[in-house]
């Protein structure tokens, strides 16, 4: 990889513009989950230790180029200050005057970059205005790297640029999982719709040895094979696409693992009466809500021979018991193998992280990506503008 890290830069006495992702959940003006804030602390501390002055660039929500008071980053400052153990200077309005007064030891957070209409247009003028505030640019927001915005792409061409600790950590983990993985390689892909993951599936069948398909997507594949899926969530207009993916996998020697048995119910609610049936025997009045136990066992056997695993999406309707069983069991299998040093496991995506946390498996995975859309686009084989701009 051609990108530089903090260790390649002379930061002493420099104003360091750091693109971070602190787009965290907020209720009543208070941050309710500090995970993304906690993960940028090492980068900020290392810049300070090297004599640099961190000036943080970030977005919050979607103000669409207008000043929206309830989307101000000012409400993030208390949680950020607590995470860093020091006061953070919040700068809105005229950036320049305030930035010039910062001294070594200080940390500043600039107002929501998306308040400026130029940000999401990757406007060169806004990028130059931001670049004028610093000497060095650091991107520590992999989760925003799939966006070509002024603070993620254009600015990286205007200043000496490098990856922050979190960005470097993400890129190393992803390279290890899909760029140059130990094989055999398995991918688990779940979620509701094939239509949102066509590019992902098309890319993975060319790169992985085993592809597990679960969730609502699996229903579409079962329908493509001619199975009646009853009232299950399925995209019947995507069955031709599903058959194309199956044919491509067969052509390149990728084993696709679809459910052989499924868990069905007549209603989708906690504790609903359910039964396990063969995948080709879903009752007409029932819904497929989870992968069945025999299929999970089959996934486990395939996984036991694998050295690398990429995971994106749950295997069933994991939010509600008992339809979280397959996801929980498969996740724990992966966690146990990882803990035993037999598997490199990398996961990402909002539902994925929630599912792995619910399964109490996340802590034992090799790496959990902080990104959603960027992780998905990376898995699709797409170039991420925020990474490409760093020279990677």
- HEC letters along 230-295: CCCCCCHHHHHHHHHHHHHHHHHCCEEECCCEEEEECCCCCCCCEEEEECCCCCCCCEEEEECHHH
Using an 8 Å Cβ cutoff, are 27 and 147 in contact?
Answer: no
Residue 100 in marked binding region = no
Residue 62 in marked binding region = yes
Sign (positive or negative) of CA dihedral 332, 333, 338, 339: positive
Strands of the 255-257 sheet, one edge to the other: 255-257, 210-213, 185-189, 308-312, 344-347, 367-368
* Residues whose CB is less than 8 angstroms from the CB of residue 14 and which lie 6 or more positions away in sequence, other chains included: 51, 52, 53, 134, 135, 136
C-alpha 21/C-alpha 2 separation (Å) is 23
How many other CB atoms sit within 10 Å of the CB of residue 134? Answer: 23
Residue 147 in marked binding region = yes
Residue 349 in marked binding region = yes
Helix axes 165-174, 35-49, angle to 10 degrees: 120
Residue 328 in marked binding region = no
Residue 268 in marked binding region = no
Residue 85 in marked binding region = no
State the catalytic residues.
36, 193, 350, 373
Residue 351 in marked binding region = yes
C-alpha 129/C-alpha 175 separation (Å) is 33
Using an 8 Å Cβ cutoff, are 334 and 311 in contact?
Answer: yes
Q: What is the DSSP letter of 206?
A: T
Alpha helices, DSSP H only, in 59-210? Answer: 77-84, 95-99, 124-131, 165-174, 198-204
Q: Is 255 buried (19+), middle (13-18) or exposed (0-12) by CB count in 10 A?
A: middle
Residue 352 in marked binding region = yes
Residue 294 in marked binding region = no
Residue 61 in marked binding region = yes
Using an 8 Å Cβ cutoff, are 71 and 61 in contact?
Answer: yes
C-alpha 196/C-alpha 370 separation (Å) is 20
SS3 category, 23: coil
Residue 23 in marked binding region = yes
Residue 206 in marked binding region = no
Residue 19 in marked binding region = no
Residue 183 in marked binding region = no
Pick out the residues of the known binding site for substrate: 21-23, 36, 59-62, 114, 147
Pick out the residues of the known binding site: 21-23, 36, 59-62, 114, 147, 197, 319, 349-352
Pick out the residues of the known binding site for (2R)-3-phosphoglycerate: 36, 114, 147
Pick out the residues of the known binding site for ATP: 197, 319, 349-352
């Amino acid at each position: 990889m051609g990108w530089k890290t903090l260790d390649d830069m002379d930061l002493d006495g420099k104003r360091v513009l750091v693109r971070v992702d602190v787009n965290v959940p907020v209720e009543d003006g208070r941050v309710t989950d500090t995970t993304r804030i906690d993960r940028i602390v090492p980068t900020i501390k290392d810049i300070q230790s090297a004599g640099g002055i961190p000036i943080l660039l970030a977005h919050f929500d979607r103000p669409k180029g207008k000043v929206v008071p309830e989307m101000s980053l000012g409400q993030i400052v208390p949680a950020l200050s607590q995470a860093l153990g020091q006061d953070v200077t919040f700068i809105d309005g005229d950036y320049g005057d305030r930035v010039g007064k910062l001294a070594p030891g200080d940390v500043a957070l600039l107002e929501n970059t998306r308040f400026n209409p130029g940000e999401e247009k990757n406007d060169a003028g806004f990028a130059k205005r931001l670049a004028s505030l610093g000497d060095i640019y650091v991107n520590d927001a992999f989760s925003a790297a799939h966006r070509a915005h002024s603070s993620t792409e254009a600015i990286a061409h205007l200043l000496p640029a490098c990856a922050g600790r979190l960005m470097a950590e993400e890129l190393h983990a992803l390279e290890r999982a899909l760029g140059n993985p130990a094989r055999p390689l398995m991918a688990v892909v779940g979620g509701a719709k094939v239509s949102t993951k066509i590019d992902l599936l098309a890319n993975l069948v060319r790169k992985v040895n085993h592809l597990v398909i679960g969730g609502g997507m699996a229903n579409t594949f079962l329908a493509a094979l001619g199975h009646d899926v009853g009232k299950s969530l399925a995209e019947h207009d995507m069955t031709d696409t599903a058959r194309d993916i199956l044919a491509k996998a067969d052509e390149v020697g990728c084993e696709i693992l679809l459910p052989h048995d499924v868990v069905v119910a007549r209603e989708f609610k906690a504790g609903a009466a359910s039964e396990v049936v063969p995948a080709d025997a879903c009752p007409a009045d029932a819904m497929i809500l989870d992968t069945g136990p025999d299929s999970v066992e089959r996934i486990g056997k395939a996984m036991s021979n694998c050295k690398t695993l990429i995971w994106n999406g749950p295997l069933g309707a994991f939010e509600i018991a008992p339809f979280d069983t397959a996801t929980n069991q498969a996740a724990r299998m992966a966690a146990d193998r990882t803990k035993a040093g037999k598997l490199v496991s990398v996961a990402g995506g909002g539902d994925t992280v929630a599912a792995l946390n619910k399964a109490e498996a996340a802590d034992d995975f090799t790496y959990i990506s902080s990104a959603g859309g960027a992780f998905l686009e990376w898995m699709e084989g797409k170039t991420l503008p925020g990474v490409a701009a760093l020279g990677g």
